[in-house]
Structure 1
Amino acid sequence: MIDKIAWIHLKDGRVLGTRSAGKGTYYLPGGKREPGESDVETLVREIREELTVEIDAASAKHIGTFEAQAHGHSSGVIVRMTCYTASFAGELVAASEIEELAWLTTADADRISPVDRIIFAHLHEAGLLA
């Protein structure tokens, strides 16, 4: 089981996605926790590293936990993505391993990971994602 935390940042019916250098697939921003970190501590650290903005930890709201086959891993390896919305301060800039930011909709299903497809469907059903 791969345990990840993701930030759901929605704007105008689209969600922010990131693409790492040398990769063709977009992922929701976030990543794996360090030993001893809480979900929100992981969220704050990962988003600062990847997007150079400061998440307001007090505003973090859990919106769901989703599981699917881990993209790029052998069959049977599952990723669990615990997703949060949160406000932030600063300007979104690709940093660290992130090469590109993109605003994605359900029409981008062929460009995202399997777990993100499940999350996108959930957001779409809730009327949050085009």
Structure 2
Amino acid sequence: MRKHDRVSSTTAPIPVVGLVHVAAGKLLLVRAVRQQAFYLPGGKIDPGETELQALHREVREELGTGVAGPAFYGRYTTDAVGQGSGVRVALACYRGAPDAEPRAAAEIAELAWMDRAEYLAQPVTAPAIVDLLADLDP
């Protein structure tokens, strides 16, 4: 299990979940409408919802597909992008694969496949994804 903590804060981090799907050495990422940064498919965990329930719900909403074989990968606690100073996220990552061809749905404007160099070349990057991509590099 991987665990990262980039910054300390007195505010509890927002619990979120993300799908880690790698193909041909690149990570599947999404960009939401009105956002500049790319993130993992996924999102906030609703009250009373488990991480896996949230993962399945969010991936269905964002990619129009289910998740095959999700397995816990790691947890990344870091600053949130676009949420204001001091706001953090606790990202629970699950490796798995979409069970059909993913497509941008709901609030998702764009899908992308990126390696670490491609992601770092983006104008805005999310610290949790930077850390995740470093861990995924061989």
For normalisation by structure 1, the TM-score amounts to: 0.88
Aligned length: 123
After alignment, is 69-78 or 47-56 more displaced? 69-78
Question: Which runs of 5 or more residues in structure 1 are unaligned?
Answer: none
1:83 aligns with one of 67, 88, 93: 93
1:66 aligns with one of 70, 76, 79: 76
- Helix, strand or coil for the counterpart of 1:53? coil
* Aligned residues: CA RMSD: 1.2
For normalisation by structure 2, the TM-score amounts to: 0.84
Runs of 4+ off more than 3 Å? none
1:8 aligns with one of 14, 20, 23: 20
- Helix, strand or coil for the counterpart of 2:92? strand
2:116 aligns with one of 102, 106, 122: 106
1:88 Cα deviation after fit: 3.2
Q: Which amino acid aligns with 2:47?
A: P
CA separation of 1:77 and 1:22: change in aligned 2, threshold 3 A: closer
The structure richer in helix per residue is 1
